[in-house]
Structure 1
Amino acid sequence: MEHTLITRKEGQTLALASFLATFAYSSLVITLKGPLGSGKTTFVKGFAKGLNITERVISPTFNILKCYFYEPLSLYHIDAYRLEDEFIELGLEEYIEGDGVTLIEWPDYIKELIHTNHLSIEIEVLTPLSRQFTFKAYGEQANYLITKLQGFKNV
């Protein structure tokens, strides 16, 4: 299943991600694809807000992994841009297969670790402020998220 949405400003991107987070569940994996500066980390910020995470969300580019431990769901934010085979040594699969929600930027670098059941988000830059989000569901649980996204009202 697939669904596409367009946001026209950063606030709408944050709202979209926050809306999606309200339907998050344990062991959810979301992959984020898009060029540098397309809004992947902005999307994660909005998602964290939707999970009621109050901590400041930053890009884990140099850390590779940033964890936000909250109830009922923790958030694991992975930036795999600089990874190749090191992910096995880093133990990232423990987070991806864990109880929280995992959002992965640049997932192609660690595609061997990605569940067959996940939600893929491709971000296309339309203008300096506008983004097109293409959501693709892989598996039944991810299909559920697509049906919920169809109810998102861009304001």
Structure 2
Amino acid sequence: MPRRDPILLPDPAATEALGARLGAVLAPGDIVLLHGDLGAGKTTLARGLISALCDVEEVPSPTYTLMQHYDTRSGDWLVHADLYRIEDEAELAELGLDEAFDNAICLIEWPDRLGAYAPERRIDLHLKADDGTRIAEIAARGDWGDRLDHV
């Protein structure tokens, strides 16, 4: 499992920049599971990733809609999902996650709610705030080659 050294994120701009760098190496079928407590910087990272790939003026949190769909500049499809309010795995099938996992770049917040739906091939990105300092830890499962070397 390729793993990067922890990345220090001293401010929100660094978190957005990490999202942009990650977005630059993603392709349809790539899935990023975004782990972290409330306030860890998940929304900031998502904003950087989505803004790097899509022509958008704002990136709303999908907390209430559960999923936001975006068209990327290259004509691909990007899905940003927030699964915090999911209580049962049966709800995931109704969202159409299977199709998104196959055809879109997916960014999933609160991935612990995926249960058996968690794909084998994925990036697990953990955001942590230790003593006021944010860090990101990235681990990839499956064949990613050297793509993560550029993040």
Q: TM-score, normalization: structure 1?
A: 0.86
Is it true that 1:77 corresponds to 2:80 in the alignment? yes
In the TM superposition, 1:6-155 aligns within 5 A as 6-72=8-74, 73-83=76-86, 84-85=88-89, 86-98=91-103, 100-128=104-132, 130-141=133-144, 143-149=145-151
Q: Distance in 2 between matches of 1:50 and 1:41?
A: 14
Q: Distance in 2 between matches of 1:127 and 1:46?
A: 24
Number of residue pairs the alignment of both structures matches: 146
Instruction: Kindly state the Cα deviation for residue 134 of structure 1 after the two structures are TM-superposed.
Output: 0.4
Instruction: Kindly state the Cα deviation for residue 137 of structure 1 after the two structures are TM-superposed.
Output: 0.7
Task: Give the counterpart letter for 1:97 in structure 2.
Answer: D
Change (3 A) 1:19 1:148: same
- Unpaired segments ≥5 residues, structure 1: 150-155
Instruction: Kindly state the Cα deviation for residue 127 of structure 1 after the two structures are TM-superposed.
Output: 4.4
Q: Distance in 2 between matches of 1:144 and 1:25?
A: 14
Structure 1 segments (4+ residues) deviating >6 Å: none
Q: What SS is found at the alignment partner of 1:140? A: coil
Q: What SS is found at the alignment partner of 1:62? A: coil
Say if 2:22 and 2:49, in contact at 8 Å, map to a contact too: yes
Q: Percent identity?
A: 27
Task: Give the counterpart letter for 2:101 in structure 1.
Answer: I
Say if 1:20 and 1:50, in contact at 8 Å, map to a contact too: no
Q: What SS is found at the alignment partner of 1:89? A: helix
Instruction: Kindly state the Cα deviation for residue 70 of structure 1 after the two structures are TM-superposed.
Output: 2.6
Q: Distance in 1 between matches of 2:50 and 2:96?
A: 23
Q: Distance in 2 between matches of 1:90 and 1:54?
A: 23
Q: Distance in 2 between matches of 1:57 and 1:109?
A: 22
Taking only aligned residues, the RMSD between alpha carbons, in angstroms, comes to 1.5
Say if 1:60 and 1:78, in contact at 8 Å, map to a contact too: yes
Q: TM-score, normalization: structure 2?
A: 0.88
- Unpaired segments ≥5 residues, structure 2: none
